[in-house]
Every structure is written in C-alpha cells, then in structure tokens.
C-alpha cells in the first residue's frame, strides 16, 4: 500500500486495509507485482494493474486486424496490462502462449481459438492454476464447460443462415438449378463449421439451390483468389459465390474478373464480416449481400475480465449484436464505418 503520511489508529488502519483489499479485488490486480513480461515467476506483473494474457489467431483478414486493434485499444483505455501473442494461425503456438501466460501468473487468459477441438488439456492446466479463461470470437468444443468462464462472440450459424435466407429470396424465381460455390474459412474453425451449417440449412428451402463445390480459402484474400480460380476452371456454370468472409470474397473478385466475368452480375456474391473493403465492394455493386460479424469485442472483453477476476458471476454466453447489408444499405453505412 502506498504511504499516506497520515497517522492511523488501529481501527482506522483495519478499515483502510479492508477497503484496499476490496478495491484490489474489484480492480482484479490480484497477485501482480512485476512489470513487463513477468519473468520473476512470482506474479503476472503489471504494477497493480489487471494483467490479461491474450492469444490471437493471427492476422489473416481485415476482420482480424480490427479485432486486434479493438482489444489493444480497450486494454489501454481500461488501464490494464495486455500480454498479446500472435499465434500465426497455429494451434500449437496458442497452446504454447497459454502455457506461458500460466507460468507468468497473469490474472486472466483470453483467446480466440484457431480451431474448435483439442483444448481440454491446456484449459485444465489454466483451471488448476486458478486462472480464469475467457473465449473470445470463436468457441471450443470442450464438453467440460467449467474449463472457461464465458464465451463472447457472434452466432456464426445465424450468420450463415442469414446469408442463405437472403439467397433463397433472391433466387425465388429460378426455374432451374442455381449453382453455388462456397469458400470456407479455416478448416476446423468454429466460423467455418457453423457458417457452412447455417447456410446449408437455409438453402435447403429451395431444391434448385445446390452447392457444387466447397473448399477452404483459409479466410485470406490469397486463398480466396486461388480457390476461386480452381472453381472457375472446374465449373463451367457458377451462379453464386458464398464466401465465409469478405477477404476471401475480395480475393475471388480478382479471379472472376480475370476469367472475363462481371462480379455481382454474372456471379452473385455473398460474404460475411462487413469490414470497410467488403462494404466498398458491396456499395460498388461487386458484392450483393453481406452478413455482419462484429470484431469490436475489446470493450466487453475488458469488462468481463474485470468481473471474472473479481469472482463475479458472468453470463456463460455473451452474443454480439449484428445486422446485414444490401448494396443500398452499404452505400448509406460506409461513410461512418469504423473498420
């Protein structure tokens, strides 16, 4: 405790200690007493600040960059110390980062799991070390829900369903087959699994709508372009592209244009995310519809981190609010789009 220069009675000192402990608990400063990387092995570091270890998937898309910025800015605004690790798309790097955070005794571990499976062992290690874990953006498939405190992020199945429902309406007059190609996100990731599922469920309403090819473009522009080139070579008639994110859709635009087709006209394009570049393509008539996925999870994550560290109850699931955009709606929304 900082020296006050005030002489205290025993009762006064007791009261002050109690207030200090309570404030410390609420602020979640816990056992932190080292700055920097906490290599002392005795605490998370952070000079009394709440210390959060965050393992990010990577930097595969515009969405991911906006998500990273939101988390870094929100931690700085809240006055928390953020130990940020970029896993470069690899689960083994995330597991290594989480083990480092445990060793450093951070107050809270948060991460966006690159894939859904294979987390139980490391999550159990965090639980045994009494470090609360928050899942952000993507879920894990662990049966033991006590391995993490809460999951904050989008409903990916709903996003896929919204994309499919729009297509069902758009093609309601079709009398023959409508050939759809699908660019999936990273194999094994929650958004790829769930968006595929939601979309398939929705388009089942019209038997004319058929997915004729579906492959992963790993959520990147380069992946989207490369896989779309293959789709175009192998499928003489493609009516619709459903891309699991804007970046893959933007990569695919290049392949479609190079193949002499007009995106948004010859091929109807539906994507997910609604980052600025995607919204621009939609406003320009190159995309036809976007289901939004918000990356701005930072402020809620900081709030949840503070609460779990203080031992407060938090909801098991915090769902992000999202909308959808047509070309006209994108034109109206673009000037105020933050990411």
Binding interface with ligand AHR (CB under 6 A): 60-61, 63-64, 137-138, 191, 219, 245, 247, 272-273, 293
Smallest distance, ligand AHR to C-beta of residue 143, A: 22
Give the C-alpha distances (Å, rounded to integers) separating 135 from 68, 78, 207, 319: 14, 19, 37, 12
Comparison of 27 and 87: residue with beta carbon closer to ligand AHR: 87
Smallest distance, ligand AHR to C-beta of residue 46, A: 28
Q: Rounded CA gap, 287 and 266, in Å?
A: 11
Smallest distance, ligand AHR to C-beta of residue 300, A: 15
Note whether 182 and 164 are within 8 A (CB).
no
Smallest distance, ligand AHR to C-beta of residue 223, A: 11
Comparison of 32 and 186: residue with beta carbon closer to ligand AHR: 186
Comparison of 179 and 216: residue with beta carbon closer to ligand AHR: 216
The strand pair at 317-319 and 289-292 is best described as: unpaired
The strand pair at 51-56 and 317-319 is best described as: unpaired
**Nearby residues of 71 by Cβ (< 8 Å), 6 or more positions away:** 54, 56, 82, 84, 136, 297, 298, 301
Measured in degrees and rounded to the nearest 5, phi and psi for residue 51 equal -110, 120
Smallest distance, ligand AHR to C-beta of residue 238, A: 22
Contacts 24+ apart (CB under 8 A), 140-148: 140/113, 140/116, 141/116, 141/117, 144/120, 145/316, 147/119, 147/120, 147/123, 148/123
Comparison of 30 and 219: residue with beta carbon closer to ligand AHR: 219
Smallest distance, ligand AHR to C-beta of residue 313, A: 26
Comparison of 53 and 160: residue with beta carbon closer to ligand AHR: 160
Smallest distance, ligand AHR to C-beta of residue 334, A: 18
Comparison of 232 and 248: residue with beta carbon closer to ligand AHR: 248
Count Cα neighbours of 10 within 13 Å in the Cβ-side half-sphere: 0
Comparison of 55 and 104: residue with beta carbon closer to ligand AHR: 55
């Amino acid at each position: 405790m900082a020296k006050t220069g005030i002489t205290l009675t025993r009762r006064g000192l007791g009261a002050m200690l109690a207030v200090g402990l309570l404030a410390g608990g609420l602020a979640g400063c816990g056992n932190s007493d080292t700055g920097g990387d906490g290599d002392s092995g005795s605490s998370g570091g952070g000079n009394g600040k709440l210390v959060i270890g965050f393992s990010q998937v990577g930097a595969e898309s515009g969405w991911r960059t906006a998500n990273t910025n939101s988390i870094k800015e929100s931690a700085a605004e809240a006055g928390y110390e953020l130990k940020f690790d970029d896993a470069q798309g690899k689960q083994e790097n995330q597991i290594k980062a989480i083990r480092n955070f445990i060793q450093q005794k951070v107050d809270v571990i948060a991460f966006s799991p690159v894939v859904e499976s294979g987390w139980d062992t490391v999550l159990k290690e965090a639980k045994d070390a009494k470090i609360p874990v928050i899942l952000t953006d993507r879920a894990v498939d662990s049966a033991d829900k006590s391995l993490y405190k809460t999951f904050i992020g989008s409903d990916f199945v709903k996003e896929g369903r919204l994309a499919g429902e729009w297509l069902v309406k758009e093609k309601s007059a079709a009398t023959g087959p409508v050939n759809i190609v699908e660019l999936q996100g990273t194999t094994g990731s929650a958004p790829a699994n769930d968006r595929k599922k939601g979309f398939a469920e929705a388009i089942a309403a019209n038997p004319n709508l058929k997915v004729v090819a579906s492959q992963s473009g790993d959520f990147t522009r380069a992946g989207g372009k490369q896989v779309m080139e293959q789709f175009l070579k192998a499928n003489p008639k493609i009516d619709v592209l459903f891309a699991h994110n804007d970046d893959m859709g933007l990569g695919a635009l290049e392949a479609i244009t190079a193949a002499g087709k007009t995106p948004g006209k010859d091929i109807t394009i539906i994507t997910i995310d609604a980052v600025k570049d995607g919204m621009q393509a939609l406003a320009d008539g190159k995309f036809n519809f976007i289901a939004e996925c918000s990356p701005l999870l930072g402020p809620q994550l900081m709030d949840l981190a503070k609460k779990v560290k203080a031992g407060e109850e938090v909801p098991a699931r915090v769902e992000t609010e999202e909308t959808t955009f047509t070309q006209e709606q994108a034109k109206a929304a673009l000037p105020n789009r933050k990411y």
